[in-house]
C-alpha cells in the first residue's frame, strides 16, 4: 500500500459537520465524517465508492416535501431561482425517472423530484443539499437539462457554476493549500529529482495551488461570440464525464473535477464518473479520502476496479456505468476552458457518427502556468510505430469542425450508442498506449468521422522528466502491434520493424483478434489503403512498392560482422558509426526510401521525436531538410550507397574506414570505386517477413522454412578453383550477398546447403539470428525461404554437366541464369570472390559457371555423370 502524501486521518466518529476538526498542519487533507463517506461495496468486479444505504446527512429531514430544501414540484410561474409552492403537491404515484429518459420530458404534476435527485444524482450520499441553479431559469421543467441544473450546491457564482465545492456546510474547506515551495529552477531545489518524484511535474507546487482557479480563455475571437441553445443540447445530449486514473496525485485530480464543475453549465452534465484503476495510494483506496470527498462534490461518484486493468478497461468500466447519451472522456490532470463542452455537443447533435475532440493547450509541468503556444492542435496523423503525430493549429477563422486522421487519446466526446456500435474500445488492449490510434482507424474505416472542434479548448498537464506510472513494455508493444495486425494490411511489416521489441522477446503475443476481425467484417470496414488515400492523403509511403527500397540493418559486405549504427545516440548532429550486428534493429534500424531518396533511422530523435536521416558527413539531421538528406542513390545489385547532391560530396559513396588500434572502423564518404569492397553493403529488401513477430510467422506458416525430407547437406565447390566454396559468410541474414571462401573440411555452417527437391530451393544450413530459414535467391543473395518474390517464384536445378541453373519453373525447366563465380581472388578475407546468377554460357568452356555439388556425408558428387 502506498502512503498518501500529507494525509491525516482521525477517528471520524468524534466529528460533526457543525464542529469540524482542528487542523493538524497547514496543507493537510482533512478527514471527513464517516457518514459522508461510507465503506465501499463490491459489485460485479467493481467497487462503488459510496453506499446507497448510508445514513442521511446529520440533521437532514427524511425525504419529504422539502427535506433537502427542494420541493416535490416546481413553481412554473417563477422564472428564477427555485421556490416552494404555497402548498405541497397532492400525493400521487411517484414517477421515477429512468436513466434512459429525460429528453424533453413533459412536466408531471406529481413528479417526485426528491426521488430523482436521490436515485440519479446521489443526493442522499451528499453532505450538501442540492439547491438548483440560479443561472438557467428558462429550462423546460421536467426536461433533462432542467433536472441536471437542480443538482448543484449553494453559493453559485459565474466562475462557480455548480456551487461551492469541497467545503462543509459551515464553509470549512476540506483541502487547504500546502506551503508554497521554491521555484523549480532555484538552487536549493533538485529539479531532476522533483520531476521524477512528481511523476513528470512539480507535485509540491501543485499541492500548494488552489483547487479553484480560472484558466485563461484561449479561444480564438471567432469562437467567443457564438451562443448555444443549452435547452436543446442538454435535453438530447447531456453528458457523463468519465475520468480514469491510477495513483493520480490528489491535487491534480481534485483540480480537474473542480475545473469541470466550476466552468461547465450544469444543464449539460448529468454525472462525473471517476474510475480508480486499482490505485494503491491510501487516499484513493475504497472508503478513503477521495470517496469521502465526493460527498462534497455534486454529481460525482467513484468506481473502484478490483484489479489493475489499464486505462482502456478502466474507461470502458466508466462508459458502461454511464447513463447519459454522450460520453466525454478526460484525463485526470486537465483544467477546462470556458465554453469547452458546448461546441463539442453541438457537433455531435449535427453529426451523430462523429467522434470529436478539443484543441489541447498546455499546463507547464514545472510552474503550472497556462500556455496556448504548446500542446496538441486539430490535425493529428500517425507514425509507423503506431503512435500519434501532432502539430499545433494556430489561429482559426472558422468554428467549423476540422477532420483529423487521428486523435490524441485522453480527451474526446462521442455518442454512446455510436461508440458501442463500432465496438467501443478494443478490450484486448493492455494498460495504456495506441488505443487512440486504433480507435481512430476504426472510426474512419468503419463509417464514422473523427473531428477536432477548434472552439473547444482544454488545458492539459504534460509531463516532463518523469512518468505517472510504469507501463510494461510488452503491453505497449502488444497494443501497437494488435492495432497494426487488425488495420494496417500490407503496412503491417513496416509497423513491426518500427516496434522491434519482439525480436528480443520471442514469446510476446497480441492476443486473440478474431472478435475484432469479425467486427471489421460485420461493419464492412474499408481497407487501410483507402484510409491513406482519402483520410490522410499527405502521409508518407502511400505506395509501398514505389517508396521503400530496403528496411532493416545495413551490413558491410567486407566486414560481415559490422552494421551501420547510431551508437546509442539518435540525435541531430550526432555521428553514425559501425558496431557488431545484433539483428534487433533499434540503433541499427534504417529505412532506404526512393521518394524522397533518404537513408532514414527507424528510431526518432530522442528529444524532439523528429525523423532523422543520415548525411554524407556521417551525421544525423532532420529529414525535413530535404536537400541535405534526400539525394541518395541506392544500388542494390552493386551494394553501393552513393550521394548525388550538387555539393562537395557529389559522387561519394559510403565506405568502411579502418580505425587505429583496436577501435571499430568508422563510416566515411569517399569517391566511389566499384572495385572497393569497403564500399559494398547489403540490406534486407522490402517487403519481407524478416521482422515479423514469431506469432505472425507461425500464423502465416513461415516459421520452419521448407520441410526437409532426408535431403543431405552439400558443399557447392567451384570447378574453376576447387579451393573455393559458395558461402553466405559469417552472420548470414535476409539480403546477405553470396560469396566464395576457402572451403572448410566438412564445410562451415555458412557453406553447408540443402537441395530441396519438392520446392526447387537451395536452403542454407545456418539460420538468421531470429531463427528464419534462408535460401539462395536471384541474383546473388540469400533471402528468407518463404519470400515469394525472391526464392519461391523460380526453381534451382543441379545439372549433371556441372551447371547450377535457375529455371522459370520445375515444369518447363527453361534456363534463365546460371550460378557464376565472379572476381575470384580479387578481394581479401573473408570473401575471395562473389557468386551470382548470370546469363548461362552456350558451352561448358566457361569454368566460372561449373560447380561440384558434393554430399558432405558420403562425398558423392551430384553433378557427376
Write the DSSP assignment of 134-199 as a string of letters. Answer: SS-TTSPTTSHHHHHHHS--SS-BTTBTT-S-SB-TTS-BSB-PPPPPPPTTSTTS-HHHHHHHTT
Instruction: State the alpha helices, DSSP H only, in 650-772.
Output: 694-700
107 pLDDT band, cuts 50/70/90, is very low
- How high is the pLDDT of residue 732? 81
637 pLDDT band, cuts 50/70/90, is confident
Q: How many CB atoms lie within 10 A of CB 318?
A: 24
C-alpha to C-alpha distance for 826 and 833, rounded to whole angstroms: 7
Numbered ranges of CATH 2.80.10.50 in the chain: 544-682, 706-855
What would the grid cell of residue 67 be? Answer: 427535506
Element (DSSP H or E) covering residue 35: none
93 pLDDT band, cuts 50/70/90, is very low
Q: How many CB atoms lie within 10 A of CB 44?
A: 8
What would the grid cell of residue 680 be? Answer: 559494398
What would the grid cell of residue 106 be? Answer: 413533459
What would the grid cell of residue 816 be? Answer: 534463365
The sign of the torsion formed by the CA atoms of 603, 606, 611, 616 equals negative
Residues 390-413 have a mean pLDDT of: 91
- What is the CATH architecture assignment of 544-682? Trefoil (2.80)
C-alpha to C-alpha distance for 330 and 549, rounded to whole angstroms: 42
C-alpha to C-alpha distance for 718 and 152, rounded to whole angstroms: 91
SS3 string, 502-552, reads HHHCCCCCCCCCHHHHHHHHHCCCCCHHHHHHHHCCCCCCCCHHHHEEEEE
- What is the CATH architecture assignment of 706-855? Trefoil (2.80)
Q: Which residue has the cell 506458416?
A: 701
Q: Which residue has the cell 509541468?
A: 365
Q: How many CB atoms lie within 10 A of CB 463?
A: 14
The sign of the torsion formed by the CA atoms of 118, 122, 127, 129 equals negative
Running DSSP on this structure, what letter comes out for residue 486? H
HSE of 509, CA atoms in CB hemisphere, 13 A: 8
CA distances for 110 relative to 87, 594, 762, angstroms = 13, 75, 88
- How high is the pLDDT of residue 748? 86
Q: Which of 60-74, 332-346, 665-679 has the lowest mean pLDDT?
A: 60-74
C-alpha to C-alpha distance for 277 and 618, rounded to whole angstroms: 47
Running DSSP on this structure, what letter comes out for residue 34? G
Across 80-84, 396-400, 764-768, the highest mean pLDDT is recorded for 396-400
Which residues are paired to 798 by β-bridges?
804
C-alpha to C-alpha distance for 155 and 287, rounded to whole angstroms: 28
- Which residue in 804, 778, 800 sits closest to 790, CA to CA? 778
Which residues contact residue 698 at a Cβ distance below 8 angstroms, ignoring those fewer than 6 apart?
Answer: none
- Which residue in 512, 516, 437 sits closest to 480, CA to CA? 437
381 pLDDT band, cuts 50/70/90, is very high
Q: What angle do CA 374, 378, 380 make, to 5 degrees?
A: 90
The sign of the torsion formed by the CA atoms of 402, 403, 407, 408 equals negative
Is the pLDDT score of 72 beyond 60?
no
**pLDDT tens, position by position, 586-595:** 999 999 998 7
Residues 553-568 have a mean pLDDT of: 91
- How high is the pLDDT of residue 120? 93
- How high is the pLDDT of residue 771? 72
Q: Classify strands 739-742 and 640-643 as parallel, antiparallel or unpaired.
A: unpaired
Q: Which residue has the cell 487519446?
A: 409
Instruction: State the alpha helices, DSSP H only, in 50-130.
Output: 113-121
Cis peptide before 830 (omega within 30 of 0): yes
What would the grid cell of residue 511 be? Answer: 492476443
Running DSSP on this structure, what letter comes out for residue 40? P
C-alpha to C-alpha distance for 29 and 23, rounded to whole angstroms: 9
Is the pLDDT score of 102 beyond 50?
no
The sign of the torsion formed by the CA atoms of 703, 704, 707, 711 equals positive
Which residues are paired to 804 by β-bridges?
798
C-alpha to C-alpha distance for 308 and 586, rounded to whole angstroms: 30
C-alpha to C-alpha distance for 260 and 593, rounded to whole angstroms: 47
Contact 245, 276 (CB under 8 A): yes
What would the grid cell of residue 756 be? Answer: 530441396
Running DSSP on this structure, what letter comes out for residue 381? E
C-alpha to C-alpha distance for 69 and 82, rounded to whole angstroms: 10
C-alpha to C-alpha distance for 84 and 74, rounded to whole angstroms: 7
- Which residue in 241, 261, 416, 242 sits closest to 326, CA to CA? 416
Strands (DSSP E) found in 607-710: 611-614, 620-622, 632-635, 640-643, 652-657, 666-671, 681-682
**pLDDT tens, position by position, 279-318:** 999 999 999 999 999 999 999 999 999 999 899 999 999 9
**pLDDT tens, position by position, 487-546:** 999 999 999 999 999 999 989 999 999 999 999 999 999 999 999 999 999 998 888 878
- 3-state SS assignment for residue 418: helix
pLDDT more than 70, % of the chain: 83
Which residues are paired to 740 by β-bridges?
726
Residues 763-775 have a mean pLDDT of: 82
Superfamily name and number for 221-473: Spore Coat Polysaccharide Biosynthesis Protein SpsA; Chain A (3.90.550.10)
- Which residue in 142, 77, 137 sits closest to 104, CA to CA? 142
- 3-state SS assignment for residue 679: helix
What would the grid cell of residue 764 be? Answer: 542454407
Is the pLDDT score of 6 beyond 60?
no
Alpha-carbon 698 to chain mean position: 25
Contact 301, 216 (CB under 8 A): no
Numbered ranges of CATH 3.90.550.10 in the chain: 221-473
Contact 495, 484 (CB under 8 A): yes
Running DSSP on this structure, what letter comes out for residue 708? P
- How high is the pLDDT of residue 655? 96
- How high is the pLDDT of residue 154? 94
Residues 331-356 have a mean pLDDT of: 98
Burial class, 37, CB count within 10 angstroms (exposed 0-12 / middle 13-18 / buried 19+): buried
**pLDDT tens, position by position, 775-829:** 998 888 888 888 877 776 678 888 888 899 988 765 656 778 999 998 776 555 5
C-alpha to C-alpha distance for 404 and 855, rounded to whole angstroms: 62
SS3 string, 822-836, reads ECCCCCCCCCCCEEE
Burial string for 405-423 (b: 16+ CB within 10 Å, else e) reads bbbbbbbbbbbbebbeebb
- Which residue in 829, 844, 371 sits closest to 558, CA to CA? 829
C-alpha to C-alpha distance for 545 and 119, rounded to whole angstroms: 60
What would the grid cell of residue 21 be? Answer: 476538526
Residues 181-186 have a mean pLDDT of: 94
Query: Mean pLDDT score of the chain, rounded to an integer?
Result: 83
- How high is the pLDDT of residue 204? 96
Q: How many CB atoms lie within 10 A of CB 809?
A: 11
Amino acid at each position: 500500500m502506498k502512503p498518501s502524501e500529507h494525509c491525516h486521518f482521525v477517528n471520524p466518529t468524534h466529528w460533526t459537520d457543525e464542529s469540524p476538526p482542528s487542523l493538524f498542519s497547514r496543507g493537510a487533507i482533512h478527514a471527513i465524517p464517516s457518514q459522508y463517506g461510507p465503506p465501499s461495496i463490491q459489485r460485479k468486479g467493481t467497487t462503488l465508492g459510496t453506499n446507497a444505504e448510508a445514513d442521511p446527512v446529520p440533521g437532514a429531514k427524511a425525504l419529504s416535501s422539502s427535506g433537502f430544501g427542494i420541493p416535490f414540484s416546481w413553481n412554473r410561474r417563477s422564472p428564477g431561482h427555485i421556490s416552494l409552492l404555497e402548498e405541497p403537491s397532492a400525493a400521487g404515484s411517484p414517477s421515477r425517472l429512468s436513466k434512459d429518459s429525460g429528453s424533453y420530458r413533459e412536466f408531471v404534476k406529481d413528479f417526485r423530484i426528491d426521488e430523482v435527485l436521490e436515485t440519479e444524482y446521489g443526493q442522499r450520499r451528499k453532505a450538501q443539499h442540492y439547491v438548483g441553479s440560479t443561472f438557467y431559469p428558462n429550462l423546460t421543467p421536467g426536461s433533462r437539462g432542467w433536472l441536471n441544473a437542480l443538482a448543484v450546491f449553494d453559493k453559485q457564482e459565474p466562475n462557480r457554476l455548480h456551487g461551492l465545492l469541497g467545503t462543509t456546510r459551515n464553509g470549512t474547506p476540506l483541502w487547504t493549500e500546502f506551503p508554497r515551495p521554491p521555484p523549480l529552477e532555484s538552487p536549493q531545489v533538485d529539479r531532476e529529482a522533483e520531476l521524477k518524484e512528481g511523476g513528470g511535474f512539480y507535485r509540491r507546487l501543485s499541492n500548494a495551488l488552489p483547487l479553484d482557479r480560472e484558466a485563461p480563455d484561449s479561444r480564438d475571437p471567432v469562437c467567443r461570440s457564438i451562443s448555444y441553445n443549452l435547452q436543446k443540447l442538454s435535453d438530447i445530449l447531456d453528458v457523463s464525464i468519465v475520468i480514469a486514473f491510477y495513483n493520480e496525485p490528489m491535487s491534480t485530480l481534485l483540480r480537474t473535477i473542480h475545473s469541470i464543475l466550476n466552468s461547465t453549465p450544469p444543464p449539460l452534465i448529468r454525472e462525473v464518473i471517476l474510475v480508480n484503476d486499482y490505485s494503491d495510494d491510501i487516499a484513493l483506496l475504497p472508503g478513503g479520502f477521495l470517496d469521502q470527498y465526493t460527498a462534497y462534490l455534486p454529481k460525482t461518484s467513484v468506481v473502484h476496479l478490483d484489479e489493475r486493468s489499464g486505462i482502456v478497461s478502466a474507461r470502458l468500466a466508466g462508459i458502461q456505468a454511464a447513463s447519459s447519451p454522450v460520453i466525454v472522456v478526460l484525463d485526470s490532470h486537465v483544467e477546462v476552458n470556458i465554453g469547452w463542452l458546448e461546441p463539442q455537443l453541438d457537433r455531435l447533435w449535427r453529426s451523430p457518427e462523429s467522434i470529436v475532440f478539443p484543441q489541447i493547450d498546455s499546463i507547464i509541468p514545472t510552474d503550472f502556468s497556462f500556455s496556448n503556444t504548446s500542446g496538441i492542435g486539430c490535425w493529428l496523423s500517425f507514425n509507423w510505430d503506431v503512435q500519434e503525430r501532432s502539430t499545433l493549429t494556430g489561429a482559426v477563422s472558422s468554428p467549423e469542425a476540422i477532420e483529423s486522421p487521428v486523435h490524441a487519446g485522453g480527451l474526446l466526446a462521442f455518442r454512446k450508442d455510436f461508440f458501442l456500435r463500432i465496438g467501443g474500445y478494443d478490450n484486448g488492449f493492455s494498460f495504456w498506449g495506441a488505443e487512440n490510434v486504433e480507435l481512430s482507424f476504426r472510426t474512419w474505416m468503419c463509417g464514422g468521422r473523427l473531428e477536432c472542434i477548434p472552439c473547444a479548448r482544454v488545458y492539459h498537464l504534460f509531463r516532463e522528466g518523469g512518468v505517472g506510472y510504469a507501463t510494461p513494455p510488452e503491453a505497449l508493444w502488444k497494443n501497437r502491434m494488435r492495432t497494426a495486425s487488425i488495420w494496417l494490411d500490407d503496412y503491417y511489416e513496416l509497423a513491426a520493424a518500427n516496434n522491434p521489441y519482439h525480436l528480443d522477446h520471442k514469446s510476446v503475443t497480441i492476443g486473440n483478434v478474431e472478435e475484432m476481425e469479425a467486427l471489421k467484417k460485420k461493419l464492412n470496414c474499408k481497407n487501410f489503403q483507402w484510409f491513406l488515400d482519402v483520410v490522410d492523403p499527405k502521409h508518407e509511403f502511400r505506395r509501398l512498392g514505389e517508396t521503400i527500397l530496403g528496411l532493416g540493418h545495413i551490413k558491410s559486405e567486407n566486414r560481415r560482422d559490422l552494421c551501420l549504427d547510431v551508437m546509442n545516440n539518435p540525435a541531430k548532429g550526432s555521428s553514425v558509426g559501425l558496431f557488431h550486428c545484433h539483428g534487433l534493429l533499434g540503433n541499427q534500424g534504417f529505412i532506404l526510401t526512393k521518394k524522397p531518396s533518404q537513408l532514414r533511422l527507424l528510431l526518432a530523435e530522442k528529444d524532439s521525436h523528429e525523423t532523422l536521416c543520415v548525411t554524407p558527413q556521417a551525421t544525423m539531421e532532420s529529414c525535413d531538410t530535404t536537400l541535405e538528406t534526400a539525394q541518395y542513390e541506392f544500388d542494390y545489385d552493386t551494394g553501393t550507397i552513393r550521394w548525388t547532391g550538387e555539393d562537395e560530396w557529389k559522387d561519394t559513396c559510403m565506405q568502411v574506414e579502418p580505425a587505429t588500434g583496436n577501435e571499430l572502423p568508422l563510416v566515411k564518404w569517399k569517391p566511389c570505386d566499384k572495385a572497393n569492397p569497403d564500399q559494398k553493403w547489403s540490406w534486407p529488401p522490402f517487403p519481407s517477413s524478416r521482422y515479423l513477430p514469431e506469432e505472425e510467422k507461425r500464423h502465416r506458416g513461415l516459421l520452419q522454412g521448407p520441410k526437409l525430407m532426408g535431403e543431405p547437406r552439400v558443399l557447392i565447390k567451384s570447378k574453376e578453383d576447387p579451393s573455393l566454396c559458395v558461402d553466405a559468410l559469417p552472420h548470414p541474414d535476409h539480403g546477405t550477398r553470396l560469396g566464395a571462401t576457402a572451403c572448410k573440411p566438412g564445410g562451415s555452417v555458412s557453406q553447408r546447403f540443402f537441395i530441396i527437391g519438392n520446392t526447387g530451393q537451395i536452403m542454407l544450413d545456418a539460420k538468421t539470428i531470429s531463427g528464419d530459414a534462408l535460401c539462395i535467391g536471384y541474383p546473388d543473395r540469400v533471402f528468407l525461404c518463404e519470400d515469394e518474390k525472391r526464392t519461391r517464384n523460380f526453381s534451382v536445378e543441379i545439372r549433371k554437366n556441372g551447371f547450377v541453373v535457375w529455371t522459370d519453373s520445375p515444369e518447363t525447366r527453361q534456363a534463365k541464369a546460371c550460378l557464376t563465380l565472379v572476381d575470384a581472388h580479387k578481394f581479401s578475407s573473408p570473401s575471395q570472390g562473389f557468386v551470382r546468377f548470370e546469363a548461362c554460357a552456350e558451352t561448358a568452356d566457361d569454368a566460372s559457371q561449373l560447380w561440384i555439388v558434393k554430399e558432405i556425408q558420403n562425398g558423392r558428387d551430384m553433378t557427376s555423370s
